[in-house]
Structure 1
Amino acid sequence: MGGGRKRGRTQRRHFKQGRENVWKYGNKEARPDDPAANVESNPTWQPFATQNSNFDEYYKEQNIVPEDEWEEFICTLRKPLPAAFRINSSGQFCKDIMLQLENDFLKSLKAEVNDEYEMEAIRPLPWYPGNLAWHLNFSRMQLRKNQTLERFHEFLKQENEVGNITRQEAVSMVPPLFLDVLPEHHILDMCAAPGSKTFQLLEMIHESTEPGLLPNGLVIANDADVQRCNLLIHQTKRMSTANLVVTNHEAQHFPTCYSMKDHKEISKGEEVSKSYLQFDRVLCDVPCSGDGTLRKAPDIWRKWNAGMGNGLHRLQVEIAMRGVALLKVGGRMVYSTCSMNPVENEAVVAEVLRRSGGSIKLLDVSDELPGLIRRPGLITWKIKDRGIWLACYKDVPKYRRSVILPSMFPSGQSHDEILITDGIQEHAGIPGSNSVEGKVDSQIISQPENLLQPQDMCENLEKVAVSTGTASDESKLEENSSGSVSAKKLDGDIREEISGFPLENCMRIVPHDQNSGAFFIAVFEKLTPLQAIPTNPARHSTESRPHSANINRNLNNECKEEMDITNNVQDENINIASLATSDVDTMVNQSTGISINDKVSVCSEDNELQKPGVSNGEDNGPTDTKEVKSKSQSHGKWRGIDPVVFFKNQTIINSIRSFYGISESFPLDGHLVTRNSDSNHVKRIYYISKSVQDILQLNIQIGERLKITSVGLKIFERQKSNDSSTPCSFRLSSEGLPLLLPYTSKQIICAPLRDFQQLLQQRTVKFVDCIDACFREKASNLMPGCCVIVLNEGNEITNDIVVDASTIAIICWKGKTNLGILLSPSDGQELLERVALRFGIQIRTSPKADEIAEIDMDETKD
């Protein structure tokens, strides 16, 4: 459900773009593992380079893996990535698909194993709950080229298209599992495209939901690129959910949604009614350099350089901090990347902990997902800039300090920063602070929230003396009060910083541990609202002042926003417009130094190049009160995006309820939305859950600050029929049928298995050709128009229609002489195969099986 005049054309053009890296030679395309491509037929063809000396040097220096594992690590990176997929746990045919995998494909593909490290062709991932995720011993290219695997490949494509499975990299499935999602949670996916993780989150909130019911939670899936939002919508559409909102904002500037009653009502003594959008769970899968995806995107080998991670560090910190601000106290946030670079991983985590001032905690989740092989995060690393290794911020040339930031280093601070402690100034300006020449305990430097008490000062001064050489050299390593090593002395003049944060609680997944890609995950819990850090000019050195000042300004803006809500501010001069335009969204990224548009990242799931910070043209500046009040909901705020309008035409609603016999217990009022303000020309009506309804109402109150590109579940579509006797102008939608089916009592009949199979195969069946006489009579007696056919597992018709999780039903069109299904050919074929497998019947071939039914109606074009 999207808006915009060129939505269809843009979306089609976007989907046509190839996702795989190929070498192009004139009019030919050749892939490295294509047997048809050889030197004789194409003398200019060369395989992908799977090595990069800069890559080797960088990660050897960072000690990503022990030296004795390096060869195994690098050899694994040079092999194609095995395919993987996940079964939709909330899907109707979840158990059927699992049985098919275990009883059919496991046995039939056994002879195809050709990897010395793999014992099985396909197997469930041991760490994924319920055996719902599967690993294949074949790359995507092998699946396409191997004739023996053709049937299995067709199975994967078909089930993926209808939403029964999702083809996704195995390690990409990990972050949502650590969110510990419950059905009532409000979840924000900050950088959601292409949507595999979003789909996974939706599965989790729907997993235990009964037919006809909706969970209390919701997922807001956001992405900065409008074209990638189209891809996200296409991916999540297969889920058929009323609990999803897709938005198009830069993640670091995701709007604040906050409203309260007018001050005139407050002055009358009424209780303040406040509504503030915060989230129980936040998934922060940020744009990254993507070198963890080398096995499926080998073109990264030739492009890789250390500057890719350095250029994204600032953006990643800003996105993560915005996620922390939007997280509820007691909530959980997962930060993840598909990069191995500590500058994009541990350095970002340390900076988020540092800025949060004790408001969040880095969780140790080593006891969760016990089958998952993971390694602890690093506590020390170095920065490489333009071929030069930098051990601490002091080593950074002055002309590069707008690009190489203090937060990239383990200590997170510049060498001459002054710390203010309870009115006592302790200078960290000793040369090489937190290094061999001079060190202040990392409890001070890395964790400013834990300010020193006077009784602790002597102990820390002793540690400084040790590191500067004024104390005895008995100990080369010092530990702070949290038990973390803060610095160590190396041979010669080499310095090495060590973070004082428990970064070992992070996890890094490396390829050779379980034949996968690489990934990094950190799990946070929010303990208290963010606390502002007082701005003191003496705290910042001249050379680092622009960066430090910007940090405090941004953090204080986030804190101000939370403190206003937490402290229940009741200011009579506050109005909805001023609340709607909080300081957070007027932030200007003045410290970037380089254009965000120049930063390109590789998506962790589909290898498509993404510009993570592409401006969407939105104006997040202050909004005049009169302008907000004069903004009509029907006109919409965002250019190119149709407004979301509540559908309130009671005449149409009553006709729909009456024609289909929809029970009064199924709420329609307030739950129907469209993208057209003219109810007489509405083509599609969407259904939203109660949780989404609250979000939309709040968004309207505050002046449509959320740029919504898709919302709701398509449930009704306007129909054009040659038969003017059709009493209802809207037909049911296949996507919304599972939700509406338990509440429908009219235009619904049961069909025996033989007639149901005939309908799926022939798509259009004349009444005289119906096999069962009772079904023929009931079908011909239906009113002209849309109807529902429910499969009766036996061959006898029953008047009692019982709907449960196993019920199979399809939407049909009842014409004058025939019955035709309103289902796409691919969906119809997949359902036919599911029915055949469930009931052990053989599919009869039919010349009409692949044709679109010619029925006596003109379907409305989407």
Structure 2
Amino acid sequence: MGGNRGRTQRKHFRKSRENVWKKDRSDNPSSEKSSWEPFATQNLDFEEYYKGQGIVPQEEWDVFMEILRKPLPASFRINSSGQFFKDIRSQLENDFMKSFEAEVPDGELEPIRPLPWYPENLGWHSNFSRMQLRKNQTLERFHEFLKQENEIGNITRQEAVSMVPPLFLDVHRHHFVLDMCAAPGSKTFQLLEIIHQSTEPGLLPDGMVIANDADTQRCNLLIHQTKRMCSANLIVTNHEAQHFPSCHSNKNCLDISETESFKDPMISQLLFDSVLCDVPCSGDGTLRKAPDIWRKWNAGMGNGVHRLQVQIAMRGIQLLKVGGRMVYSTCSMNPVENEAVVAEILRRCGGSVELLDVSTELPQLVRRPGLKKWKVRDKGIWLASYKDVPRYRRGAIVPSMFPSGSSSDTGNAPSDGLQEDTGPLEDLDMGNSPSSVKRLKNGGNIDCGEGLGQLENFVIPTVVSDDEVSSLPLERCMRILPHDQNTGAFFIAVFHKLSPLSAATLENQGQLTSGNMELPKKLADELIEDTNELEINPSEDGGGHLYSEVTSDADLPDKQPEEGALEPDSNGICEEKEPEESNIHGDGETSLESSKNVKRKLQIQGKWRGVDPVVFFRDETIISSIKAFYGVNESFALDGHLVTRNLDTHHVKRIYYISKSVQGVLNLNFLAGQRLKIASVGLKTFERQTSREGTSTECAFRISSEGLPLLLPYITKQILCASLVDFKHLLQYKTIKFADFVDAEFGEKASKLKLGCCIFVLRKESEGTSDPVRVDASTIAIGCWKGKSNISVMVSTIDCQELLQRLSLQSGNERGSLAQENKHSSLEVDGTEPTDDLDVNQEPGTIEQVPIS
């Protein structure tokens, strides 16, 4: 959802989308000789619908359709908070662009170029599709560059129009941001970049991001994507967006001894400065990326998600602070999913919310104004007004879909939208053509949609109403069309909250139009998952159900305790119900089976079944050993900033660091009765030693690669400066004996380090061998293991290759020469595994690792 574009919140989406651009290879040799025809990129209903809606002038129609039938070019974004983002940008501008220019004939389009509207040349567009990136040697090298930098987190491969919504949120470093429908995570990553931009080493911004998604498996993908950002300012939650919970201080469920651990939670209510509401949609703006939509598309797809979109958007407005911004966006071109939703939000909120005119922001972005006039198409019939909707369709077609939003019936037409007929009815074909209306025999049963039963003596009226025109300033919305700048299609609207919502508005949220809100399975399967970067096949049990109404904060019910869940007893003290078996995996190292049939006090964040609890780590013995072993400066706050996902804090494998803002949210969430279902939180900073010699070290925990940049400015022990040549040798060979270092003095110092984790920093040319370690934004450091006779690198192979390439480029050596040698180097390690384990904050086995291609 959002983060990137349309998707369903239901569990029916079981199949991954087929890649119809690829030729189907068969084992039958005879089939290879037969001619292969690409998938038909046309749909007459699609063309009739959007011609009727007038989304482009008639003279542009052919160009519009022609570009829709072409594959989508690749695009990507440079991580502006990355250490090497300037080097990567320079490499693109001075290496790849010049290489391509030498090979491309004059007059042809630039192979790659920065997006003119994206700030600081950090967004890039390629005129090659993914299939073309292996066309020649230069393109192959470029493709490998994209894959490597994407996996490390230096760039994010993302559709160009998908980058737009976060730019209109006006996010600052101190903002609390909510991404309501975040998976697969490219927009969340973008929001994290913004709040971390220009942050000094060892310092964290005051703001934070909560990234939410309704589907469990998509949450795992979201965690995997945002893990590359290495942020302590992120919480990933798993809720249906239209029912995202509010958090208010509520100490009724706490024992006094527990509340003593929670000082001032810093915030008394969880509200947000910025809300990104990128809702589930029919996804026809992604036709160039997912051409299988051509054969699936029908007008009912947009009609079916309209009310859910309104619900999610209204919940976002409720959670938005006064003075804050909310961006509503879809990857659909359908006005029923776009302008109709925006208009309904404005009507419900009255003067509390305004639709902003942002036409002066990002002036080089080509965009078109929103529509003020559209119609609704249902069962092959055009409906210009709600009064034209037959009674039996009013469970599916609601007034908010029309420009006026009015449900009043005026004129001479019957109030139920039906007209009597003097003769018997024959057959009624609810097909795709308005001319296909036929007669039905008296008392016949018709199966053509929700709410349709036995009908007598009626005909479907010919629509005679004049087209409605909205009086709201919908021209302030933005439509991005594919043929304007060779992209996908997108819709964006920016809201500004002027005042709190009225009591009447909040009360009416529980009184939406009645009707069957369950999407038909066929429709649910046709709703489009966002695959800007990755594709995933959601699990059957993820996703949850759609609800028929939006509720206010007061109306949001707590979920009924599930078997094995934690709930308060009659005395107000939280206790655990008797579980069938443990659902808490706790790093895979503990089990609660022994506690069966035994009641116990609630552990922090242990409410949600199947989700590992978030427990504040307060073991003073371990914290003191970490401080003493690494010489952590007292100015670096550890107390109250460490959490784990294991109830048994004596057998913790991973410790996560959280920012002050995240700490405040966790404290508030506990005081509010654990309303947030947290899938991931914080930055993995310490990991228990897993080597043969790990048990003999003075400190049981080593520093993870993700947490090293945060801790580096505060470490005074187990840290050495290495010369460029020795630093490269470590990256290249992974393991070096003390006597084999080029700098003998450095080798001797390394041999005197304590057994266990240590940090090596690349010494700058201006620094001497005996100078103290100084850390700034340009400092390059790696984690290593000091064994009995050698030093081993604890960095992944791809990170080693990346650093070698950066150092080779900086020193003027041939690009990647040492990286090529690295492929043949030994990976022998003395007493430890050299690389950090992939971790998604949830415990092992909870996520399927998705390769980046």
Aligned to 1:856: 831
Aligned to 1:441: none
Q: Distance in 1 between matches of 2:312 and 2:201?
A: 37
Q: Distance in 2 between matches of 1:348 and 1:838?
A: 52
Which AA in structure 2 matches 1:516? T
Q: Is 1:283 aligned to 2:221, yes or no?
A: no
Preserved contact between residue 332 and residue 491 of structure 2 (Cα < 8 Å): yes
Q: Does the residue aligned with 1:61 lie in a helix, a strand or coil?
A: helix
Q: Distance in 2 between matches of 1:107 and 1:39?
A: 44
Preserved contact between residue 308 and residue 546 of structure 2 (Cα < 8 Å): no
Q: Distance in 1 between matches of 2:254 and 2:795?
A: 54
Shift of 1:678: 1.3
Judged with a 3 Å threshold, the aligned counterparts in structure 2 of structure 1 residues 769 and 23 are, in CA distance, closer, same or farther, namely: closer
CA RMSD of aligned residues (A): 3.1
Judged with a 3 Å threshold, the aligned counterparts in structure 2 of structure 1 residues 341 and 720 are, in CA distance, closer, same or farther, namely: same
Aligned to 2:365: 372
Question: When the two structures are aligned, how many residues end up with a matched partner?
Answer: 721
Q: Distance in 2 between matches of 1:312 and 1:16?
A: 20
Preserved contact between residue 224 and residue 615 of structure 1 (Cα < 8 Å): no
Judged with a 3 Å threshold, the aligned counterparts in structure 2 of structure 1 residues 210 and 400 are, in CA distance, closer, same or farther, namely: same
Aligned to 2:509: 554
Which AA in structure 2 matches 1:231? L
Aligned to 1:575: none
Shift of 1:145: 4.9
Aligned to 1:758: 729
CA deviation profile, 1:626-668 (whole Å, cap 9, x unmatched): 4773141257111111000000000000000000000010000
Shift of 1:120: 1.2
Q: Is 1:800 aligned to 2:755, yes or no?
A: no
Q: Is 1:139 aligned to 2:129, yes or no?
A: yes
Which AA in structure 2 matches 1:109? F
Aligned to 2:789: 817
Which AA in structure 2 matches 1:80? P
Structure 2 counterparts to residues 101-140 of structure 1, below 5 A: 101-113=92-104, 119-140=109-130
Which AA in structure 2 matches 1:81? L
Aligned to 1:225: 215
Aligned to 1:409: 402
Judged with a 3 Å threshold, the aligned counterparts in structure 2 of structure 1 residues 603 and 144 are, in CA distance, closer, same or farther, namely: farther
Structure 2 counterparts to residues 497-516 of structure 1, below 5 A: 497-516=468-487
Q: Distance in 2 between matches of 1:793 and 1:432?
A: 84
Structure 2 counterparts to residues 138-287 of structure 1, below 5 A: 138-260=128-250, 275-287=268-280
Q: Does the residue aligned with 2:778 lie in a helix, a strand or coil?
A: coil
CA deviation profile, 1:323-349 (whole Å, cap 9, x unmatched): 000000000000000000000000000
Q: Distance in 2 between matches of 1:683 and 1:429?
A: 72
CA deviation profile, 1:334-380 (whole Å, cap 9, x unmatched): 00000000000000000111111221100000000001000000000
Write 1 or 2 for the structure with the bigger share of strand: 1
Shift of 1:595: 3.5
Judged with a 3 Å threshold, the aligned counterparts in structure 2 of structure 1 residues 641 and 622 are, in CA distance, closer, same or farther, namely: closer
Q: Distance in 2 between matches of 1:399 and 1:140?
A: 47
State the identity as a percent: 63
Shift of 1:766: 1.0
Q: Distance in 2 between matches of 1:128 and 1:522?
A: 18
After TM superposition, the structure 1 stretch with the greater mean CA deviation from structure 2, 759-768 or 174-183, is 759-768
Judged with a 3 Å threshold, the aligned counterparts in structure 2 of structure 1 residues 733 and 19 are, in CA distance, closer, same or farther, namely: farther
Q: Does the residue aligned with 2:729 lie in a helix, a strand or coil?
A: helix
Q: Which has the higher contact order (CA 8 A, sep 6+)?
A: 2
1:839 paired residue among 811, 814, 824: 811
Q: Distance in 2 between matches of 1:744 and 1:58?
A: 64
Judged with a 3 Å threshold, the aligned counterparts in structure 2 of structure 1 residues 822 and 22 are, in CA distance, closer, same or farther, namely: same
Q: Distance in 2 between matches of 1:238 and 1:838?
A: 24
Unaligned regions of 5+ residues in structure 1, if any? 1-13, 30-37, 266-270, 417-427, 436-490, 535-550, 557-587
Q: Distance in 2 between matches of 1:613 and 1:399?
A: 30
Shift of 1:552: 5.5
Q: Is 1:827 aligned to 2:802, yes or no?
A: no
Judged with a 3 Å threshold, the aligned counterparts in structure 2 of structure 1 residues 754 and 506 are, in CA distance, closer, same or farther, namely: same
Shift of 1:800: 1.7
Aligned to 1:620: 558
CA deviation profile, 1:783-837 (whole Å, cap 9, x unmatched): 1100000001329524321111110000000111111100111111111111111
Aligned to 1:740: 711
Preserved contact between residue 293 and residue 607 of structure 1 (Cα < 8 Å): no
Judged with a 3 Å threshold, the aligned counterparts in structure 2 of structure 1 residues 647 and 274 are, in CA distance, closer, same or farther, namely: closer
CA deviation profile, 1:552-597 (whole Å, cap 9, x unmatched): 64268xxxxxxxxxxxxxxxxxxxxxxxxxxxxxxx9964443477
Preserved contact between residue 284 and residue 320 of structure 1 (Cα < 8 Å): yes
Aligned to 1:781: 752
Aligned to 1:603: 529
Preserved contact between residue 415 and residue 432 of structure 1 (Cα < 8 Å): no
1:722 paired residue among 663, 680, 692: 692
Shift of 1:731: 0.2
Judged with a 3 Å threshold, the aligned counterparts in structure 2 of structure 1 residues 110 and 678 are, in CA distance, closer, same or farther, namely: same
Preserved contact between residue 411 and residue 497 of structure 1 (Cα < 8 Å): yes
TM-score, normalising length: structure 1: 0.79
Shift of 1:698: 1.1
Q: Distance in 1 between matches of 2:329 and 2:604?
A: 39
Preserved contact between residue 362 and residue 525 of structure 1 (Cα < 8 Å): yes
Q: Distance in 1 between matches of 2:254 and 2:14?
A: 52
Q: Does the residue aligned with 2:758 lie in a helix, a strand or coil?
A: strand
Q: Distance in 1 between matches of 2:722 and 2:15?
A: 40
Aligned to 2:518: 594
Preserved contact between residue 660 and residue 746 of structure 1 (Cα < 8 Å): yes
Preserved contact between residue 415 and residue 429 of structure 1 (Cα < 8 Å): no
Which AA in structure 2 matches 1:633? Q
Structure 2 counterparts to residues 653-672 of structure 1, below 5 A: 653-672=623-642
Judged with a 3 Å threshold, the aligned counterparts in structure 2 of structure 1 residues 113 and 431 are, in CA distance, closer, same or farther, namely: farther
Preserved contact between residue 260 and residue 273 of structure 1 (Cα < 8 Å): no
Aligned to 2:680: 710
Preserved contact between residue 398 and residue 513 of structure 2 (Cα < 8 Å): no
Preserved contact between residue 722 and residue 857 of structure 1 (Cα < 8 Å): yes
Judged with a 3 Å threshold, the aligned counterparts in structure 2 of structure 1 residues 851 and 351 are, in CA distance, closer, same or farther, namely: farther
After TM superposition, the structure 1 stretch with the greater mean CA deviation from structure 2, 818-827 or 184-193, is 818-827
Judged with a 3 Å threshold, the aligned counterparts in structure 2 of structure 1 residues 408 and 110 are, in CA distance, closer, same or farther, namely: same
CA deviation profile, 1:9-49 (whole Å, cap 9, x unmatched): xxxxx9996774467858569xxxxxxxx997253743111
Aligned to 2:324: 331
1:629 paired residue among 562, 573, 576: 573
Q: Distance in 2 between matches of 1:806 and 1:177?
A: 27
Q: Distance in 2 between matches of 1:616 and 1:687?
A: 35
Q: Distance in 1 between matches of 2:267 and 2:804?
A: 51
Q: Distance in 2 between matches of 1:67 and 1:203?
A: 41
Aligned to 1:449: none
TM-score, normalising length: structure 2: 0.80
Judged with a 3 Å threshold, the aligned counterparts in structure 2 of structure 1 residues 796 and 73 are, in CA distance, closer, same or farther, namely: same
Preserved contact between residue 602 and residue 608 of structure 1 (Cα < 8 Å): no
Which AA in structure 2 matches 1:323? G
Judged with a 3 Å threshold, the aligned counterparts in structure 2 of structure 1 residues 607 and 739 are, in CA distance, closer, same or farther, namely: closer
Q: Distance in 1 between matches of 2:222 and 2:606?
A: 22
Q: Does the residue aligned with 1:275 lie in a helix, a strand or coil?
A: coil
Unaligned regions of 5+ residues in structure 2, if any? 1-12, 256-263, 418-461, 548-555, 562-566, 576-601, 840-853
Which AA in structure 1 matches 2:192? L
Q: Does the residue aligned with 2:128 lie in a helix, a strand or coil?
A: strand
1:496 paired residue among 450, 457, 467: 467
Aligned to 2:457: none
